Amino acid sequence: MIYFTVFALFAAFAAAEGQYSCAEKQSFHERKQQLPLLHFLSSLCVFCVAVEPQHYSYSPSVGSASGSEYSLTGTQRITAVRVWENYGGSIRGIQFRYGAVWSDVAGNTYGTLQEIELWDGESIVEVSGKYSYYLEYLIFTTNQGRFLHAGQPGGSSFNMYPSFEGAELVFISGRQNGAITSLGAHWAVVDPSAAEH
């Protein structure tokens, strides 16, 4: 994000520079009035480079990635997780509760329901499992050592966790086609003081 912002600002700076070179008939006074814009853009570039990066990371999605896209997001921390497993193994659906509000269901609610309610201060710090065409086995592990698992182990293994200390799972995205065909994990430090410990 920072690189994109810096690139965009440099492009604007270059466009403004080009405007000066093309405006040969423009008076010195008119050119001088445009200098504050260039000064502002260059200051903003320095500011963007100096800002510390956000404590966000992404674990790329695993699976066949067929079907329609989904994204489970909310405005608060994840407080509960539901997973529907098919008899025979595949993960049919996933749902998160953010605060007191349940998200939409990614996939569907067919099959056996597995659920975990997180304690105060508890968060998901690891997502692992197995996949083939569908997500076959899924484990959500918390910072308290508790976990929710669903499905049957079969296929290729995956293990997702945040890049920053104190980060937690904030949302997932992927694709579904009657069941979950791919899953990627998005991590962030929700409480900045957690990264200092």
85: domain CATH number is 2.100.10.30
Is residue 45 domain-resident?
no
Domain that holds residue 61: 57-189
Q: Does residue 46 fall inside a structural domain?
A: no
CA distance linking residue 61 with residue 154, whole number of Å: 17
pLDDT tens track, the chain, 197 positions = 333 333 333 333 333 434 433 334 444 444 444 444 333 333 333 323 333 456 899 999 999 999 999 999 999 999 999 999 998 789 999 999 999 999 999 999 999 999 999 999 999 999 999 999 999 999 999 999 999 999 999 999 999 999 999 999 999 999 999 999 999 999 999 875 555 54
Domain assignment present for 139? yes
Residue 193: predicted pLDDT: 58
Q: How many domains does the chain have?
A: 1
**Confidence at residue 10, expressed as pLDDT on a 0 to 100 scale:** 36
Report pLDDT for 87: 83
> Whole-angstrom Cα distance, residue 14 to residue 31?
15
Residue 111 lies in a domain: yes
Query: Does any domain span residue 179?
Result: yes
Please state, in angstroms and rounded to a whole number, the distance separating the CA atoms of residues 89 and 161.
23
- What is the maximum alpha-carbon separation in the chain? 78
User: Is 17 part of a structural domain of the chain?
Assistant: no
Domain-located, residue 159 = yes
| Structural domain includes residue 24 | no
Q: Where are the beta strands (DSSP E) in 53-111?
A: 56-63, 68-72, 78-85, 91-98, 101-102, 106-107
Whole-number Å distance between alpha carbons of 171 and 40? 36
Considering the entire predicted model, what is its pTM? 0.72
